[in-house]
Amino acid sequence: MIAVLDVSAAVEIILQREKKDLFIGCVKQASWVIAPGRYIAELSNVFWKYHKAKAISRADCFAFVEDGINLIDDFVEEGDLWKEALSEGCKNNHSVYDMHYAILARRNNGVLLTNDRALSKICAKMKIETCH
């Protein structure tokens, strides 16, 4: 199985939240775990917000981002995804950032690992398998 890991699922794993076992299981089953290049920026921003709110230390902020990066086997350049992601974003009235993950899963016949309910519903409509 090819898995596309989004940041919402990665955060569940990294922070050992309620769905961590589900997502860890999917990652372990996968022969290849991929994400769009923007994953690193999104993940960094999430943990920066936790640090800004004084919920985690600066050291933890860096460690958690590194943990998230290490969950991914390969990052996929988004240059050829944007038109399709924008089209699906317009069609589904949903964030184009999220659509990059969905398109990457669709193009690779992969499973999208996400904790985003709205994105999961759109993926079901698009016939993209999800682990949520």
> Is 131 a domain residue?
no
Under DSSP, the state recorded for 3 is E
pLDDT at 18: 93
Would residue 109 count as lying in a domain?
A: yes
Residue 116 CA, chain-centre distance (Å), reads 9
Residue at 53 is within a domain: no
Please give the chain's pLDDT, 132 residues, in tens: 999 999 999 999 999 999 999 999 999 999 999 999 999 999 999 999 999 999 999 999 999 999 999 999 999 998 889 999 999 999 999 999 999 999 999 999 999 999 999 999 999 999 999 998
Domain that holds residue 97: 2-37+72-126
CB 53 within 8 A of CB 61: no
Total tally of structural domains belonging to the chain? 1
Whichever domain contains 96, its CATH number is: 3.40.50.1010
* Residue 12 and residue 23 in contact, taking contact as beta carbons nearer than 8 Å: yes
What's the pTM? 0.93
Q: Which residue stretches of the chain are H helix?
A: 7-14, 20-29, 39-52, 58-70, 82-92, 96-107, 117-125
What the block records as the tokens of 21 is 């076992």
Query: Residue 55: inside a domain, yes or no?
Result: no
